[in-house]
Amino acid sequence: MGKEIIKGSEALMRSLIHEGVDCIFGYPGGAIMPVYDSLMDHTDTLHHILVRHEQGAVHAAQGYARTSGRVGTCIVTSGPGATNAITGIGDAMLDSTPLVVITGQVASSLLGSDAFQEIDVVSITQPISKWSYQIRHASDIAWAVARAFYIAGTGRPGPVVLDFAKNAQIEMTEYEPFNIEFIRGYNPWPSISEESVQEAAKIINAARKPFAVVGQGVELAGANAELLALIEKADIPVGRTLLGLSALPSGHPLNKGMLGMHGNLGPNVKTNECDVLIAIGMRFDDRVTGDLKTYAKQAKVIHFDIDPAEIGKNVKPTVAVIGNCKLTLPAVTALVEKNNHREWIDSFIPSEVKEHDLVIHSELYPEQGPITMGEVVSKVTEATRDHAVLVTDVGQNQMIAARYFRFTEPRSVVTSGGLGTMGFGLPAAIGATFGAPDRTVCLFCGDGGLQMTIQELGTILESGAPVKIILLNNSYLGMVRQWQELFFNKRYSCTPMINPDFGKIAEAYNIPSRRLHLREELEDAIREMLTTDGPFLLEVGVVKESNVFPMAPAGQDVSVMMFDC
Amino acid sequence: MEKTALDIDKKIYTINVYSENIAGLLNKITNIFTRRQLNIETLSVSASSIEGIHKYTITTVTDEATVDKVTRQMEKIIDVLQAHYYLDDEIIYQEIALYKVPTDELLNGPGIEQLVRKHNARIMEVNRTFTVIELTGHPEDTEALYAELSEIGLYQFVRSGRIAITKSPVERLSNFLANIKKIADKRND
């Protein structure tokens, strides 16, 4: 069969379809118009969701990717379209989210001339993307798109940027589908060292107080069952990072909670008491470790990771097991002896009791005063029977949701961990409804973050994305206010918020809403939200000046947590 | 200024990087230094002996833990094939220096022959106004000649980045390429 001669923009469509893309989040503009023109011929296979700002396109693609396990795709124009996408690209880089972001670019002949809406996207995105490449000729398209999807989705996933010059969109080219399964300078399947597997198993077998700290790597590898097999066989308690929360069902007896600054007391204390720390698909972020000089110094450390650059970056391991944990975990499990660490596991109980008595009970079951964030989260997760996808914004809403939402299924957490992007929540939740169309998607956000990308209510209006928006309104930038209370002598500089009537805004976008501040109404309002078809805004007036506790202050020993001011 | 414990651990490391010949990679490599506020002392980039593969030789003053992390970050870049670091005693290295001096002053100064012999330098060009001298060697060598010529008077001085070859009998790049070929063949089967 001879090669077809088609337009560059059409070659892009064919390449995207060849990669199995079904969903594109984007926004048109001058330098990407030929692509949008070709898109009109493929609306049956390529569902385009028109966002209201390019940042929203990238976050939505992140939400799609995180819930579906597939590569998220965005199309934006050159110049401001591209720079608006930067925050999302950086977010995806830090949180290892597979994306292909296609930016329009001026014609090759104009490159470097400061042409209208020209910006050097490849240079800007180099440090914050896994790969960025400028397509200057239509003949490059099939190759570049195949390479982009291959790089974004394999190994440690990440965002890829394709900067698509306008002449390449218009030129005619021979097209045939292109496949890439190998790149010489990129090895997404590092070979597994048998020696490291044996050494890891030996250390786990000799451990009396083993503790596993688990991150998103397990979810990215789809190694949830492999993780279970290891921890159940060797009887190892587990702490999870923010992004790894649904790597293990919340109700599993070996789940000991969340790690880090606003995590649970038990896992943080036990990090500094265990004799073997088994890190799986996590990167020892400073929000997890606190001061590295006091972090797990007593323990032998085994680090499972697919990215060799993570080994020893923050914590020097005794043994590194490099590779995809879908393969490395079973290899180690096969050599691990069945074990029982009852006494060690029970030693978490005093910390759990302490945290429950000092924080959890009053957060989840207050009898008087305004509604707390915790009781909203707890009631919502209960009403969804722990089956919903949790999307959060950033701040107190995020930490409280992470602490009290419960998970039964993999890929159930969509949150901005590394970059901590306020405004992430709403667009990411929209994307999540496309990535997991059969699941309930619950977004918890604050009054600050919601307003950072509130224009995406328009995307909901147009697409009907059934996002359940739970706005925890305390009329403050709550997390910053908390730090001002704790570390800046209660000087609330620029954190009180004068807010609009969110219900009216929802109404303008034809989104049903309900606002409440009375505890008696909460369960009924949640029921109304969940039984209403489509999107819903539930605005809960919560305690204005509440703090997320416990807390390990930044840069300090993570096992020493504050319980009050 | 007294040296801190950290400074004492710092040494000159020579990093050899091999990559595909693709535009923009140099930028990605230097970004790794910029982010860590690490200075690049010298940088030299050229085509390697293997077609399509570029070689970068970079020197930096740091401690081993840092240079180790930096090379891992480099290998993480798509299309970078390999990055390795070496101490001075593990490599043969050279740099080249050119000196432009006033011919008059040179003729009036101590013997040219002595100067050229002592430093093993070469005269590249002589005319009525200036003379260009070339010296290849270690930084100490080029600096020693610089010091002597400075007394005479220097119009210009320029020095290249370091180039280096390893003393090890193991050819890491060739092994890597052979290995990668095996992986590629296996995937194509």
Write out pLDDT tens, residues A135-169. Answer: 999 999 999 999 999 999 999 999 999 999 999 99
Shared domain check, B97 and B50: no
Q: List the 246-265 stretch of A: residues with Cβ below 8 A of B.
A: none
Give 3-state DSSP helix, strand, coil % of chain A, rounded to 5.
Answer: 45, 20, 35
CATH of the domain at B127: 3.30.70.1150
Report in angstroms the alpha-carbon separations of A483 from A310, A403, A546. Answer: 30, 19, 11
Cα separation of A382 and A404, whole Å? Answer: 10
Whether residue B143 sits in one domain with residue B71: no
Would the pLDDT of A1 be above 80? Answer: no
CB atoms within 10 A of CB B151: 10
Which residue spans within A46-171 are E strands per DSSP?
47-50, 72-76, 99-105, 131-135, 159-165
Say whether A185 and B20 touch across the interface (CB within 8 A): yes
Is domain A4-175 in CATH 3.40.50.970, yes or no?
Answer: yes
Instruction: Give the amino acid at B103.
Output: T
Which segment of A57-61, A453-457, B26-30, B174-178 scores lowest on mean pLDDT? Answer: B174-178
Task: State how far residue A18 is from chain B, nearest Cα, in angstroms.
Answer: 20
The pLDDT of residue A69 is above 90:
yes
Can you tell me the distance from the alpha carbon of A285 to that of A258, in angstroms, rounded to the nearest whole number?
13
B59 contacts: CB under 8 Å, gap ≥ 6: B12, B13, B14, B15, B40, B41, B42, B43, B161, B162
Nearest to B24 among A126, A187, A307 (CB): A126
C-alpha distance from A468 to closest chain B C-alpha (Å): 39
Cβ contact (<8 Å) for B75 and A312? Answer: no
Residue A37, helix vs strand vs coil: helix
- Tens of pLDDT, residues A532-542: 999 999 999 99
State how beta strands B53-62 and B42-47 pair. antiparallel
Residue A554: how many other CB atoms lie within 10 Å: 13
Find out whether A250 and A406 touch, Cβ atoms under 8 Å. yes
Candidates B137, B96, B103; CA nearest to B120 is: B137
B129 part of a folded domain? yes
Q: Which residues of B touch A130 (CB under 8 A)?
A: 78
Give the mutation candidate from A134, A143, A184 for the B interface (greatest B CB count, under 10 A).
A184
Distance CA B74, CA B105 (A): 48
A184 and B68 in contact by Cβ < 8 A?
Answer: no
Indicate whether B51 and B22 sit together in one domain: yes
Mark whether B40 and B97 lie in a shared domain. no
Across the interface, of B72, B80, B187, the residue whose CB is closest to A185 is B80
Above 50 in pLDDT, residue A119?
yes
Smallest Cα distance from B18 to chain A, Å:
9
Classify B38 in phi/psi space as left (phi over 0), alpha (psi -120 to 50) or beta. beta
| pLDDT tens per residue across span A476-520 | 999 999 999 999 999 999 999 999 999 999 999 999 999 999 999
Q: Which of A122, A183, A313 sits opposite B69 (nearest CB)?
A: A313
Name the residue among A122, A186, A313 with its Cβ closest to that of B79. A186
Within this chain, do residues B49 and B100 fall inside the same structural domain, yes or no? no
* Cross-chain residue pair B79–A185, CB shorter than 8 Å: yes
Residue A117 bears catalytic tag: yes
Residue B14 and residue B75 in one domain: yes
Q: Is A479 a catalytic residue?
A: yes
Neighbours of A53 (CB within 10 A): 22
Instruction: Decide which of 3.40.50.1220, 3.40.228.10, 3.30.420.10, 3.90.930.12 is the CATH code for A194-349.
Output: 3.40.50.1220
* A252-284 per-position pLDDT tens digit: 999 999 999 999 999 999 999 999 999 999 999
The pLDDT assigned to A64 comes to: 98
Alpha carbon distance A108, A92 (integer Å): 28
A7 - beta bridge partners? A172
- Can you give the pLDDT at residue B6? 58
Q: How many Å lie between the alpha carbon of A417 and the closest alpha carbon of chain B?
A: 21
- Label the pairing between strands A159-165 and A131-135: parallel
In a 3-state reduction of DSSP, which class is residue B27? helix
- B78 and B102 belong to one structural domain: no
Residue B31 lies in a domain: yes
CA A143, A145, A147, A150 torsion-angle sign: negative
- Report the chain B residue with the minimal C-alpha distance to residue A129: B77
Record the tokens describing residue A529, joined without a space.
Answer: 């939200």
Is A112 within 8 Å of chain B by CB?
Answer: no
The pLDDT of B135-147, averaged and rounded, is 95
* pLDDT tops 70 at residue B129: yes
| pLDDT for residue A100 is more than 60 | yes
Count the alpha carbons within 13 Å of A209 in the hemisphere toward its beta carbon: 17
Task: Select which of A7, A19, A25, A54 is catalytic.
Answer: A54
Catalytic residue among A3, A4, A116, A523: A116
pLDDT of residue B115: 85
Hey, is the C-beta of B84 within 8 angstroms of any chain A C-beta?
no
Please indicate, yes or no, whether residues B96 and B151 belong to a single structural domain of this protein: yes
Place of tokens 């089967």: B189
Q: Does the structure show a pLDDT above 60 at A134?
A: yes
Size of the A and B interface in Cβ pairs below 8 Å: 53
Which of B86, B101, B133 is at the close of a domain? B86
State how far the Cα of A62 lies from the Cα of A69, in Å rounded to an integer: 10
B182 inside 8 A of chain A by CB:
no
DSSP per-residue string spanning A348-374:
THHHHHHHIIIIIHHHHS--SSSBPHH
For an interface test with A, give the residue of B54, B78, B187 to mutate (most A CBs within 10 A). B78
Q: Decide if A502 contacts A471 (C-beta within 8 A).
A: yes
Class of residue A107 by CB neighbours under 10 A (exposed 0-12, middle 13-18, buried 19+): middle
- Chain A, nearest residue to B30 by Cα: A127
Across A299-315, average pLDDT: 97
Q: For A333-378, how does the pLDDT look when each residue is reduced to its tens digit (9 = 90+)?
A: 999 999 999 999 999 999 999 999 999 999 999 999 999 999 999 9
Domains A4-175 and A194-349 share a fold: yes
Predicted confidence band of residue B1 (pLDDT cuts 50, 70, 90): very low
Q: Which two tokens stand for residue B179?
A: 């290995």
Give me the half-sphere count of Cα atoms (radius 13 Å) on the Cβ side of residue A376.
Answer: 33
The amino acid sitting at A211 is F
Place of tokens 């002589």: B126
Considering the domain boundaries, does residue B173 fall inside one?
Answer: no
B32 in a domain, yes or no?
yes
| Domain ranges within chain A, ordered by starting residue | 4-175, 194-349, 370-541
Domain that includes residue B151, residue range: 92-163
How distant is the Cα of A134 from the closest Cα of chain B, in angstroms? Answer: 10
- What's the whole-number average pLDDT of chain A? 97
d(CA A560, CA A553): 9
Q: Say if residue B21 is in the same domain as residue B81.
A: yes
Looking at domain A370-541, its CATH superfamily turns out to be Thiamin diphosphate (ThDP)-binding fold, Pyr/PP domains (3.40.50.970)
Q: Do β-strands A47-50 and A255-258 pair in parallel, antiparallel, or remain unpaired?
A: unpaired
- pLDDT score for B116: 86
Whether B181 maps to a domain, the answer reads: no
What integer is the mean pLDDT of B93-103?
95
Cβ of A307 under 8 Å from any chain B Cβ? yes
Interface test with B, best of A96, A186, A284, A292 (most B CBs within 10 A): A186
Say if residue B49 is in the same domain as residue B113. Answer: no
Q: Taking CA atoms, what residue in A is nearest to B29? A: A127
Give every CB contact of residue A211 below 8 A, 6+ residues apart in sequence.
A236, A237, A238, A239, A267, A270, A271, A274, A276, A277, A278, A299
The mean predicted confidence, pLDDT, of chain B is 90
Last residue of a domain, one of B61, B86, B111: B86
Q: Which of B28, B72, B184 lies closest to A309 in CB terms?
A: B72
Judge whether B168 lies within some domain.
no
Of B27, B73, B81, the CB nearest to A184: B81
In contact, A456 and A56? CB cutoff 8 Å: yes
- Partner residues linked to A536 by β-bridges: A468
Q: Which residue of A has its CA nearest to B21?
A: A185
* C-alpha dihedral, B144 to B150 to B152 to B156, nearest 10°: 110
Q: Does B73 touch chain A (CB under 8 A)?
A: yes
Domain assignment present for B170: no
Does residue B46 sit at the A interface (CB-CB below 8 Å)? no
Closest chain A residue to B19, measured at CA = A185
pLDDT tier at B109 (50, 70, 90 boundaries)? confident
User: Is A126–B75 a contact, with Cβ atoms under 8 angstroms apart?
Assistant: no
Is the backbone peptide bond immediately before A550 cis, with ω within 30 degrees of 0?
yes
Q: Which residue is associated with the tokens 């319980």? A: A563
CB atoms within 10 A of CB A179: 10
Q: Checking DSSP bridges between strand A23-26 and strand A47-50, what pairing results, if any?
A: parallel
Question: A311–B31: do the CB atoms touch at under 8 Å?
Answer: no
- Contact state of A122 with B78 under an 8 Å Cβ cutoff: no
Residue B75 shares a structural domain with residue B128: no
Spatial separation of the C-alpha atoms in residues A71 and A56, rounded to whole Å: 16
CB atoms A312 and B20 under 8 Å? no
Residues of B in contact with A132 (CB under 8 A): 24
Residue A13 has pLDDT above 50, yes or no: yes
What pLDDT shows up at residue A56? 98
- Considering only CA atoms, give the Rg of chain B: 21
Residue percentage of chain A with pLDDT more than 70: 100
CA distances for A305 relative to A205, A319, A320, angstroms: 20, 11, 8
What is the structure's pLDDT at B4? 58
Domain count, chain B: 2
Rounded (to 5) percent helix, strand, coil in chain B: 40, 35, 25
Percent of chain A past pLDDT 90, that is, above it, reads 98
DSSP 8-state symbol, A479: H
Q: What is the CATH number of the domain that holds B26?
A: 3.30.70.260
Strand A467-473 and strand A536-541: the pairing is parallel
The reply to whether B79 touches chain A by the CB within 8 Å rule is yes
* Burial A337-376, CB ≥16 within 10 A → b, else e: eeeebeebbebbeebeebbeebbbebbbeeeeeebbbbbb
Residue A463 gets the label, from left (phi > 0), alpha (psi -120 to 50) or beta, of alpha
Structure tokens at A8: 């560059």
pLDDT in tens, B84-94: 999 999 999 99
Helices (H) and strands (E) in chain A, counts: 24, 20
Q: Are B99 and B82 in a shared domain?
A: no
Active site includes A166? yes
Q: Predicted ipTM?
A: 0.91
Q: Which residues of B touch A183 (CB under 8 A)?
A: 78-79
Q: Residue B129 is encoded by which pair of tokens? A: 């106004």
